Amino acid sequence: MDSGEGVQLHCTSKQIEAIELFDKMDPDVVIMDAYLPGNQSTDLYKKMKKRNEEVLIVILCYKAVFMNFDCYIQKNADFIIDKFHEFESIPSLLKSIAQSINSIQPK
């Protein structure tokens, strides 16, 4: 990730656009806030995992007040990061994920 090679970043704040981007781009990693309007985060998570079980989804939340924490744990969430207590670990986690993906993908 340091050089940016092979890394593309796409952002949206709407569930419909997120699914369209997901289907179009076939990402390796999705970073998603747990607090999407109308509790859409759990629906979006389920849709993405149904479309591609291999995608890694990083859920950003405040664990102390996260109402759907158990839902993601039961659905085998890949990563749940507490935005308050673990925020500084996000760059190293993403770098580790990128290195893992690069080591298993053919060049």
Task: Give the tens place of pLDDT for each residue, 40-66.
Answer: 788 888 899 899 988 888 888 877 665
What is the amino acid identity at position 21?
Answer: L
Residue at 26 is within a domain: yes
Which carries the bigger pLDDT value, residue 93 or residue 102?
93
DSSP label at 39? G
Burial of 6-28, coded b for 16+ CB within 10 Å and e otherwise, reads eeeeeeeeebeebbebbeeeebb
Query: pLDDT tens across 78-89, in order?
Result: 888 888 888 888
Residue 53 and residue 72 in contact, taking contact as beta carbons nearer than 8 Å? no
Domain enclosing residue 75, as ranges: 15-104
- Percent share of the chain, pLDDT over 70: 77
Greatest extent of the chain over all pairs of C-alpha atoms, in Å: 42
What's the predicted TM-score (pTM) here?
0.75
Average pLDDT of the chain is 78
The reply to whether 1 falls in a domain is no
53 in any annotated domain: yes
Helix (H, G, I), strand (E, B) or coil at 2: coil
Predicted local confidence at residue 24, as pLDDT: 94
